[in-house]
Amino acid sequence: MFFSSRILAPLALAALATPALATTIDHQVPSPQGALQLRYTPEMTLSVSQRGLGPREMPRCAWKTRYALERTVTRADGAVIAPLARVTPLAEPQSGMSTGSCTKVRREMANGGALPESIRSLAQTEAARDARQFETELPQFLAMNP
């Protein structure tokens, strides 16, 4: 039992980082080859680590959330332009400790489902700022990649 728990525990911890479902923010940018679709997807990643599994310890779960905004760019024909994709951190990671198992923490986060309103608002602001910046970067990209 000791051997299998030492091997399975790191694998289980790696599998616990899960992105949350979120709404997307879309922008269109005109270009000489046709309109480009910018799609921004806010993401939350939850990492957990179970603590206090000893016989005299109370189980605790250390958790950390990270928020990011992923940008994908597609042409009118649906082809993704990979060099223009980007992931931008939205906020400082948040962390904490909860009593009980990490399964409970993951379940609570999954049931919550949506991103906090403050993060959603920050994602919309960052997407609008990035779309404006993208319009200034696009001519340089097109000049280097005809």
**Which H or E run includes 61?**
strand 60-74
Q: Which of 20-24, 29-33, 84-88 bottoms out in mean pLDDT, i.e. has the lowest?
A: 20-24
Residue range 121-126: average pLDDT? 91
Report the distance separating Cα 113 and Cα 115, nearest Å.
7
pLDDT at position 113 is 58
Q: Where are the alpha helices (DSSP H) in the chain?
A: 2-15, 102-112, 117-144
Phi, psi of 65 (to 5 degrees): -115, 140
52 band by pLDDT with thresholds 50, 70 and 90: confident
Instruction: Read off the tokens for 12.
Output: 């289980």
pTM for this predicted structure? 0.72
User: Does 53 score more than 50 pLDDT?
Assistant: yes
Q: How many CB atoms lie within 10 A of CB 71?
A: 20
User: Does 112 score more than 70 pLDDT?
Assistant: no
